Structure 1
Amino acid sequence: MTTAADRPDAHGHGEADATAMRRALELADLGPAHGVNPRVGCVLLSPAGEVLAEGWHRGAGTAHAEVDALSKLAPGAAHGATAVVTLEPCNHTGRTGPCALALIEAGVARVVYAVGDPGDHSAGGAERLREAGVEVSGGVLADEVEALLDDWLFAARHRRPHVTVKWASSLDGRAAAADGTSQWITGPAARRDVHRRRAAADAIAVGTGTVLADDPALTARDDAGRLLEAQPVPVVFGRRPVPADAALRAHPHEPVFVDGTELGADLEALQRRGIRSLFVEGGPTLASAFIAAGFADELLVYLAPALIGGPGLALGELGISTIADARRFDFAAVERLGDDLLLVAHPAPAGSQEGN
């Protein structure tokens, strides 16, 4: 007899599936938030719906969530079971074997997952399971799992990190005075917000021009100048040599140097390193290059109530010669930070680039 708890929803999934997926989501959240691999959780249910075992992925080179859960059972104990997994079981042999095959060999009868694996090499697990006679169903709590894996999924789907381009400027769009001075255009609250966002990013990027002119540490710090626990990997774009005594060479993470001649290839290389989010902070030349190439997924503009004038523009050439070609963005948020404003903008959807 079907109970209310097991009655399928509009998508054909029972409440037992959703309950197990919520638990799998909690397990996934225990995994590392950074690196090449995603956070994945798995719950194994008996044919009667009882929890047999749980597992989660602890990082590159360790057992995947499905294998971790299976390892807690005696041989044959998973026969006829349902595996509830946050991400489609992989179909790839890397440091570990394919999870789809492990589930098949364990005799699992049914697999429920939330989000399909977008990887070129790891996808295809659902198809392999079906070919082996396993019942497969996807999409359970997909929105919640998408939210947990948003940065990893973006990087996997686009083959590059999510890019945030940040600058601070005066009301008239200047990032520096005529003599080159730029500290401080914005106040303490805005700078505190920048450091918080640095700490949340996998990597922070500047150009060699900024390194040579300002010698930035590229660390995330608190108000007292102490390092925050999470630190972004420093990435330097450009071909000019960086001095051996540059402040960034004392960063907790080893700096990554890329020549910047082909941003798309550079971003793909960073994604392969496990960098999912890139915080571009260094100078108008680099910021303009990312925007002109279409790689700015988010803009953070810290606007100070000041006028400077002169040549120190926050952005340089974007390759735009007529207003019809202007790059359009949608404002996602406007925040007051002390005396300053933070404008958060995302690229306008395709087809809505024309201005009014």
Structure 2
Amino acid sequence: MEAIFTHQDHVYMARAIALAKKGRYTTDPNPCVGCVIVRFDEGDAENGRVVGEGYHEKAGEPHAEVFALEAAGEAAFGATAYVSLEPCSHTGRTGPCCEALARAGVARVVVAMVDPNPQVAGRGIEHLRQAGARVEVGLLEAQARALNPGFVSRMQGGRPFVRLKMAMSLDGRTAMGSGESQWITGPDARRQVQRLRARSSAILSGVESIILDDARLTVRAEQLGLDNARAVARRQPLRVIMDSTLRLPLAAACLQEPGRTLVITTEAHSEEKRQKLEAAGAIIHVMPAVKAGRVSLTDMLGFLAREYDINEVLVETGATLAGALLDAGLVDELQLFVAPTLLGGEARPLFALPGLTEMAHQKRLDIQDIRAVGSDWRIIATPREPQTGDAAGV
């Protein structure tokens, strides 16, 4: 029978989701999770009292339920727990949360969504039910899924969630014909980009963009505008460079920064250059060339999910790789920062999308959000078309 949730249930689950968001920049590769424990007087489902709450703060540290149970103490017995994600049932770096809730004697557990991790996938819910708890699932599920798009994508689809970030002028240009692009947008937009980097597991770029901009692809504490900016910046996303023929300069700034730089390439390059790049700090991964001497973008994303536990990829690149990802149906979300300026017809376009010769071929987007960011505008959009196939990298 479908569960019937009260107004108070909605209030407390919303609080659990709000708590989960506090771990957005620090839990990777784990999901963000929040938990609220509430006591209701007998026969009164409308006047609850919060006795404990918590959220998963950092990978390797206690989960949300543990913090909430510690705060609640003996008051957890007979209480209701609201959890934004199914309590885990397996032992990793921490113990199973479903067992902790059962030991505490929690009488009712409201779960926003089933854990997509095959190691859990309903086992935590079943354990709680076997222990005598009443478990109800599905409250604010859409909001809970939106907390962890990358974790859900990796667990269910075997690839990361791909977010494409582009900065452009009003006439849809990203750089001058020479490649000069700093800065199109203002400091407020750049602060938002830093936060996108901070929440991402990896930043993906093409070698041509690195050659032109010498981008560091790092999270910079001084630009985040967060109270815990220094702690957030200590976890640098994996930098991933698509470079089929190893053109990455040995003195590239991304090789000098903290964290790891992974170069995806093919066999079509000099072994001497490979050794020099490795000596400079790069991790070189060779993949088969499938099209025009380039690697499969689908296979590359699967590799990142499988070998590096990458949940969210932020793509910061030029028109060629951006267009290839979009054309292959591998972009889940676009964040377009639009500056009130014009760069002219000789400037570089947003996407390279060859073959669009008729209106029937156009790439339609659904706008999810538009808002001012300082003197610029941010558009969040999702591709309307389903996947159309694979494409190759650069």
Q: TM-score, normalised by structure 1?
A: 0.74
Deviates more, 1:82-91 or 1:49-58: 49-58
Secondary structure of the 1:209 match is helix
Q: Deviations over 1:138-163 (max 9, x none)?
A: 23344554454456545555441232
Structure 2 counterpart of 1:42 = 35
Contact 1:172 1:308 in 2 (8 A): no
Change (3 A) 1:218 1:64: closer
Kindly report the root-mean-square deviation, in angstroms, between the aligned alpha carbons of the 2 structures: 3.9
Structure 2 counterpart of 1:308 = 345
Secondary structure of the 2:316 match is strand
Structure 2 counterpart of 1:205 = 204
Q: TM-score, normalised by structure 2?
A: 0.68
Task: Tell me the amino acid that sits aligned with residue 126 of structure 1.
Answer: I
Equivalences for residues 84-233 of structure 1 within 5 A: 84-124=82-122, 125-149=124-148, 152-153=151-152, 156-158=155-157, 159-166=159-166, 168=168, 171=171, 175-177=175-177, 180-183=178-181, 187-189=184-186, 193-194=189-190, 196-201=192-197, 202=200, 203-219=202-218, 228=224, 229=229, 233=237
Contact 2:162 2:315 in 1 (8 A): no
Structure 1 counterpart of 2:289 = none
Contact 2:370 2:380 in 1 (8 A): yes
Structure 2 counterpart of 1:6 = none
Structure 1 counterpart of 2:65 = 66
Equivalences for residues 185-334 of structure 1 within 5 A: 187-189=184-186, 193-194=189-190, 196-201=192-197, 202=200, 203-219=202-218, 228=224, 229=229, 233=237, 234-239=239-244, 240=246, 242-259=248-265, 261-271=295-305, 273=308, 275-299=310-334, 300=336, 302=338, 304-309=341-346, 312-318=348-354, 323-332=359-368
Secondary structure of the 2:164 match is strand
- Any gaps of 5 or more consecutive residues in structure 1? 1-9, 352-356
Q: Deviations over 1:198-242 (max 9, x none)?
A: 4323243211122234322234679xxx65446663321223153
Change (3 A) 1:61 1:188: closer
Secondary structure of the 2:135 match is strand
CA distance in 2, matches of 1:59, 1:333: 29
Task: Tell me the amino acid that sits aligned with residue 307 of structure 1.
Answer: G
Deviates more, 1:161-170 or 1:333-342: 333-342
Q: Deviations over 1:250-307 (max 9, x none)?
A: 3343323334723223324444645443332222221122112211223326474242
Change (3 A) 1:349 1:122: same
Contact 2:185 2:376 in 1 (8 A): no
Contact 2:189 2:376 in 1 (8 A): no
Q: Deviations over 1:76-109 (max 9, x none)?
A: 8755443221211123332223222333344433
- Any gaps of 5 or more consecutive residues in structure 2? 42-47, 266-293, 388-394
Deviates more, 1:151-160 or 1:210-219: 151-160
CA distance in 1, matches of 2:40, 2:184: 60
Secondary structure of the 1:115 match is coil
Q: Report the number of matched residues.
A: 333
CA distance in 1, matches of 2:354, 2:337: 17
CA distance in 1, matches of 2:378, 2:16: 36
CA distance in 2, matches of 1:305, 1:335: 20
- Structure 1 position 69, deviation (Å): 3.3
Change (3 A) 1:257 1:227: farther
